[in-house]
Each structure stands twice: as C-alpha cells, then as structure tokens.
Structure 1
Amino acid sequence: MEFIIFVIFWACVFSLVFYKVKSGKVAKWAKLFRILTVVFSISFFAYWFIKKSAVAFVDNSVGLQVVNKLPQTLDFYLINVNKVQSNIILEPKHIGKIRPEYYRIEYLKMDTSDEYWIVGYLGKKNLVYFSQHSVPNKNIDQIVEVQNYINQSVKLSEAAKKQVDAYNYENTKLGIWISLDFLLLFLNLVLLLRKNKSH
C-alpha cells in the first residue's frame, strides 16, 4: 500500500515535468505517460476507498462486537496478539469512536492467535480502558461490553499504548502522502483536461 502511494507520488511529479514536453517524438510518450498516471491513480484510490468503506468481513474469522455501556464516547482500538513460533506480534487496528449504548463489529483473523486486547481512549492520549480476552473456541463470536473504566494490566496496557501510538503515527504519515498524491493528481488532471480542451 505505502509503496504504491509512493510510486504514484513520483509518477505525478514526473507527469508535471513531462507537461513541459510539447514537441517531438518524446511528446507523445510524455502525454501517454501522463494519461496512464492519472487513470491508474484515480482507479487505485477509487478501489482503495471502496475497499475501506466496505464491511471488513474476513473468511474463517471470529466476529467481535464491542458495546459501549459507559456514559461517554470512547475511541476504541483492537490489538490482536499473534504468536508466530516463539515470537509475539501485536497487530493494532482502530475500531472507532463508540457512543454510549452503541456498538461496533470487527472480524478477527485468529489463525496464529487465541488472544486479543481492547483499548479505550477518552480523547487522544487518555487511556481509560484496557481489557485482555482469550478465545478458547474460535467458532463462537465474541461480545465485549465495556461497563467500567478499568485497566486489567498496567504492563500490557503500556505495551498496547506504544502499539497504538506507532499505528497512529504510521497512519498520519500515510495520510500526508495521500494528501500530497491528491494535490499532484488534481494538478495533473487539470493540466491534462486543459491541454485536451485547447485542441
């Protein structure tokens, strides 16, 4: 994902440079490159946004329903604890903000895991909820009702907090690259349409 976004960024940069090439044999290849860059970029982002907005159902997964019974809206994260050989890999995912008496559904891929953590934030940095859950039977869906402000393990919650911080940092960095891609893509599209209209 990050690699393709990086490739699109540089393709859009080169497309802007190639806009200056308006004569000779190279001009046709430059225009073709610009058209392919715009078409590919729009197609990729359209596919990506549709995929992100679709329900994240995973085959052979465990359904997880997180219910917020607290009087305040909390921002929840899910951390899947994967055990690969002798290594433990923590895989964070943003569930989203859940209002009081509302719920969200996620699907857990439990091929290499039998445990997950739920982390709840009040605001951006204030961790007010942490719970650890085992999955003894992967054929039964999970329901977690958040009823108290608890922290079941200070040590594990600190590890979870580090994972969430790193996850959010990567997402912020990715968001900046995507914003740059959109800006360059928009400029390329405007120049391409202006060029076509002038003919």
Structure 2
Amino acid sequence: MVFFIFVIFWACILSLFFSKVKSGSLARWAKLFRILTVVFSISIFAYWFIKKSAVAFVDNSVGLQVINKLPQTLDFYLINVNKMDKNTILDPKHIGKIRPEYYRIEYLKMDKSDEYWIVGYLGKKNLVYFSQHSVPNKNIDQIVEVQNYINQSMRLSESAKKEVDAYNYENTKLGIWIALDFLLLFLNLVLLLKRNK
C-alpha cells in the first residue's frame, strides 16, 4: 500500500499542475490524466478501507481470544514470532484497547511460527503486561486471560517494546502521507468538478 500512496501523491501533484493547462492539444490529455488520477485514487482508497474494515479471517489460521480481566483498560499488541531459515522476524499487530471484562479476537497465520507474544500498555508508553505463548497444536484456538500485571521476560519485553514503537512510528508516518493524499485528492476533485460546470 505504501507504493500506491506515493504514486497517488505524485499523480495528484502532477494533476494539480495539469489543471493550469486550459487550451491546446495538451488540454484534452491533461484533463484525461486528471480524471484517471481521481478515479484511480478513489478506487485504491475505497478498496483499502473495505479491506481494513473487513474481519481479518485468515485461511489455516489459529484464532486468538484476548480477555482483559484487569480493572483498567489496556492497549494490547500481538507480536507473531516468525522463524525463517535462521532468522527470527517479529511481526507486530495492534489488537486494540480492551476494557475490563471484554475481549478481542484475532487470527494468527502460524505457518512459519509456533510462538506469539502479547504486550499490554497502560497509556502510550507504560508497558505493564508481557506474556510469551507457544502454539504446540495449530488446530486448537488460543484463549489468553490477562488477570494480573506481569512481565514474563525483561529481555523479550524490551525487544517487543522496540518493535511496537517502530510499528507505531511507521503507522504515524503512513497516516501523515494518507492525510496529504486526501488533501490533494480533494483539491483535484474540486478543480475537476469546477471545470466541468
């Protein structure tokens, strides 16, 4: 998706420049480029938002239910520990904020993994929960009840914290680029509709 976001960004900027071309043989091609840019951008974002909002069922996956039994709302992250050849790749995912006595369900792709970590934050930076879980049988769904504030491994929780920080930083960066794309797309759409009138 990052590639498409950059393509949309530069296409929208070019489209804004092409909006100044009002006459001559180039005007028709400029208008066609602007229309295609707007249609392509809206289509990509519509597809992306539908895909993001759909329930993330994964084929041959393990269902994970995280239940918060603590008296406070915690912000949970899931880190899938993928083993590829001799390398270990940590794949973080934001589960979301879970209120007391509520739960969230995620689906884990475990074809290259037999372990995952659960990380819980109270606030933005205060890591108050870390647990490491193995998956010996990939045909049985997992249930994790968070009943107390524990940190099973200081060393692994530090690695998890770095991964979560990097994940959040990348998401923030992506959010800024998407906001810029929306702004440029809106300007292009307004200029296009204004010319059509």
TM-score range, shorter-chain basis?
over 0.9
Partner of 2:192: 192
How big is each residue's C-alpha offset from its partner over 1:115-139, in whole Å with a ceiling of 9 and x where there is no partner? 0000000000000000000000000
Partner of 1:79: 79
Partner of 2:8: 8
Partner of 2:152: 152
How far apart are the structure 2 equivalents of 1:23 and 1:12? 20
Q: Any gaps of 5 or more consecutive residues in structure 1?
A: none
Q: 1:18: how far off?
A: 0.1
How far apart are the structure 2 equivalents of 1:147 and 1:187? 50
Could you tell me which amino acid in structure 2 is paired with residue 161 of structure 1? Answer: K
Partner of 1:133: 133
Partner of 1:92: 92
User: TM-score by structure 2 length?
Assistant: 1.00
How far apart are the structure 2 equivalents of 1:27 and 1:168? 43
Could you tell me which amino acid in structure 2 is paired with residue 129 of structure 1? Answer: Y
How many residues end up aligned between the 2 structures? 197
What percent of counterpart residues are identical? 88
Q: Tell me, what secondary structure is at the counterpart of 2:28?
A: helix
Q: Tell me, what secondary structure is at the counterpart of 1:117?
A: strand
User: TM-score by structure 1 length?
Assistant: 0.99
Q: Any gaps of 5 or more consecutive residues in structure 2?
A: none
- Taking only aligned residues, the RMSD between alpha carbons, in angstroms, comes to 0.4
Partner of 1:117: 117
Partner of 1:42: 42
How far apart are the structure 2 equivalents of 1:65 and 1:6? 36
Give yes or no for the alignment of 1:21 onto 2:21: yes
How big is each residue's C-alpha offset from its partner over 1:30-85, in whole Å with a ceiling of 9 and x where there is no partner? 00000000001011111111111110010000000000000000000000000001
How far apart are the structure 2 equivalents of 1:36 and 1:72? 49
Q: Tell me, what secondary structure is at the counterpart of 1:100?
A: coil
**Deviating runs (4+, > 3 A) in structure 1?**
none
How far apart are the structure 2 equivalents of 1:102 and 1:54? 20
Q: Tell me, what secondary structure is at the counterpart of 1:92?
A: strand
How far apart are the structure 1 equivalents of 2:80 and 2:28? 51
How far apart are the structure 1 equivalents of 2:48 and 2:83? 29
